[in-house]
Amino acid sequence: MPSTPWRSRAALREGLETLPIAQLAGRERDVRLLVDHRERLVGRRTALINDLRWALHDLWPEFAVPPRALIHACWQERVAGRLARAEQSAQVRIARDELRRIRELTRTIDALERELAGLVAALAPRLLAERGCGVLTAAKLIGEIAGARRFATDAKLARLSGSAPIPASSGQTRRHRLDGGGNRQLNCALHRLAVSRARLDPETAAYLARKQADGKTRREALRCLKRHLARRIWKLLQPKPPTAGLPAQPPKTVTIHCGTPSGSFSLTYRDENGWR
């Protein structure tokens, strides 16, 4: 008789009715749908940019376009002017059409990011206030976690995200191995947050330095940081306890500064009065 996997044994031991169920509805579901839609559009734009850069290299080998330059309006204008002045061969007309589509996709992608900024600030302002956590990372976390309340402890969220190490000790050797399972999209969002905090937060940089001084590699230190971030995110996404009987507090505000290829924008969210 085949053996039962350990995950299945754990589920049977705890009871199937106690397993967390992902629930996405309302604005949380809108965030997940908008994030997925934006990622699909970014993929299409990347494919068009690759095709256009190859066409430009074929037309003018000396005209070097950096890999990510064509998402910026200044480079789009520069390329558009050069294509307009060139002889309108079939290759040039196709390149102009690709550039037009890239511009349209860029405008749509920027508009989606602005819409996500409003939704995320209303749903999880404390998460956005974390250093290194931008709008897109926060939106990805909200959509993939699908309700932090369904996790009884932060350890269960860490297990879902694949950030909790798996014991792999043998004899006198004590070690852990990387969990390659779990939600890899959620794990990727945690990794982006860990890298951003390591760059922007001095305390996080000092934590990684201590881990590396203890003999861990940079990747192992980042895995430890991701486990701590899973605990932090679980706490930030928990609903606030009721404050009945306490004096009214002034509404708190969260200001978001977002930069896109077409410009930057700022949004301020107030708990009571909405956007201003």
In a domain, 153, yes or no: yes
Contact 122, 142 (CB under 8 A): no
Range of the domain at 221: 148-165+179-236
- H or E segment to which residue 275 belongs: strand 274-275
What count of other Cβ atoms lies within 10 Å of the Cβ of residue 42? 15
Contact 169, 235 (CB under 8 A): no
Question: Which pLDDT score is estimated for 13?
Answer: 67
In a domain, 132, yes or no: no
What count of other Cβ atoms lies within 10 Å of the Cβ of residue 56? 22
In a domain, 143, yes or no: no
Question: Which pLDDT score is estimated for 272?
Answer: 41
In a domain, 224, yes or no: yes
Distant-in-sequence, close-in-space partners of 128: CB < 8 Å, separation ≥ 6? 120, 121, 135, 138, 254, 256
Where does the chain have alpha helices with state H?
Answer: 6-14, 27-59, 73-85, 90-123, 125-128, 135-145, 154-161, 184-200, 202-213, 218-236
In a domain, 119, yes or no: no
In a domain, 222, yes or no: yes
> Beta strand 253-260 with 176-177: parallel, antiparallel or unpaired?
unpaired
In a domain, 231, yes or no: yes
Q: Which two tokens stand for residue 111?
A: 């508009």
In a domain, 55, yes or no: no
- Nearest 5°: phi and psi at 247? -65, 150
Q: What is the pLDDT along the chain (276 residues), one digit of tens a residue?
A: 444 555 566 556 666 555 556 566 678 899 999 999 999 999 999 999 999 999 999 999 999 999 889 999 999 999 999 999 999 999 999 999 999 999 999 999 999 999 999 999 999 999 999 999 999 999 999 999 988 888 889 999 999 899 888 877 777 777 777 778 888 999 999 999 999 999 999 999 999 999 999 998 999 899 999 999 999 999 999 887 655 554 445 444 545 555 665 565 555 544 443 333
Number of structural domains in the chain? 1
> Which bin fits 4, alpha (ψ -120 to 50), beta or left (φ > 0)?
beta
Question: Which pLDDT score is estimated for 25?
Answer: 66
216/70 Cα distance (integer angstroms): 39
Question: Which pLDDT score is estimated for 274?
Answer: 38
Question: Which pLDDT score is estimated for 275?
Answer: 35
Question: Which pLDDT score is estimated for 194?
Answer: 96
